[in-house]
A = this chain, B = another copy of it.
């Protein structure tokens, strides 16, 4: 019913092999022949059958993106970066979310990847996540975004540095009792939060400031969590004068908690986040901006490149993108 390569070949008076080569820009095709075939193909409105092509060639021309969340700012922003690159590269993007600690059960992604994609992009899964390891066990070209693992290419920011910059900013303003809103307590699953916390610790240590365990709260990277965490910090006998939230969304929640307590960010308590969330400017939040869309873009580009130059085992380098401190009204000098 649909028109096939055979139809084009017949119309052009050549073999299907030549059509295939001509259309794909392979060498050893006379340029006149090629042009003629291209014209005929467009005239006939021919579109190649991906399934047939994939079956014959063994390449799928598609990449899977595995993410724990779709409808969260960080993830959807990374995704948009990935999508733009893959679209330009002419690759299909298969979107697949995985079950999350707090989440619904879903099919494990690994089996759904086999024979189906050429490569995988994983966004910010905890390094010890079982599903992540299943995916890595597939041994297909893979790139990580927002998390790092030994021997796997990745694109992230320098989270330690980001934590350090954020904390240092508060210290520079004269704050000494600095609270921190972390992701999850005890063994935190994400590398990002560990690293940011390490950066926090380093900055504190460099400044000779003590780290009060009472000033650590957990916001689970959500707005509601940030609100609770801030509430916990505020209801202490000796609250902090400044708070470092490890994500902007938690900072938003923290702002809400402050407001409930009649406190004003930047006036009564300084607050800094990390992310550069769309709303951070709107809410006048000081933050360490990370180039989220670029995270996705660059990871996708690297993966596409690796697939193109396939076989040529690319070094598993981990790319770190720069961050930038944007000072806004939520942070201000310490006033005793």
Chain A residues proximal to chain B, CB less than 8 Å = 2, 47-52, 54-55, 60, 62, 65, 69-73, 75-77, 79-80, 83-84, 87-88, 90, 92-97, 104, 106-107, 111, 114-116, 223, 252-253, 256, 278-279, 282, 293
Closest to A252 in B: B282
Q: A60-B51, A252-B279 are in contact. Are A76 and B87 (CB under 8 A)?
A: no
Which of B47, B71, B104, B116 contacts A115, CB < 8 Å?
Answer: B47
Give the chain B neighbours of A282 by CB distance below 8 A: 223, 252-253, 256
Residue pair A278, B223 in contact (C-beta under 8 Å)? yes
For A115, list chain B residues within 8 Å (CB). Answer: 2, 47-51
Pick the most buried of A106, A115, A252: most chain B CB atoms within 10 A of its CB: A115
The answer to whether A116 and B50 touch across the interface, beta carbons within 8 angstroms, is: yes
What B residues does A70 contact at CB under 8 A?
A: 76, 79-80, 83
Bound Cα distance from A298 to B96, whole angstroms: 18
Q: How far is B79's CA from A79's CA once the two chains are assembled, in angstroms?
A: 12
**A71-B80, A83-B96 known, 5 other contacts, Cβ within 8 Å:** A47-B111, A47-B115, A71-B73, A84-B106, A94-B95
Q: Is the CB of A52 within 8 A of B50?
A: no
Q: Complex: how many Å from CA A80 to CA B100?
A: 14
Q: Which of A94, A253, A282 lies at the interface centre, i.e. has the most chain B CB atoms within 10 A of its CB?
A: A282
Are B94 and A106 neighbours in the complex by a CB distance under 8 Å? no
CA distance A75 to B47 in the complex (A): 30
Interface-central residue, A69, A72, A94, A279, by most chain B CB under 10 Å: A279
Provided the pairs A79-B71, A223-B278 are in contact, do residues A116 and B92 lie with their beta carbons within 8 angstroms?
A: yes
Option from B55, B75, B97 in Cβ contact (under 8 Å) with A84:
B97
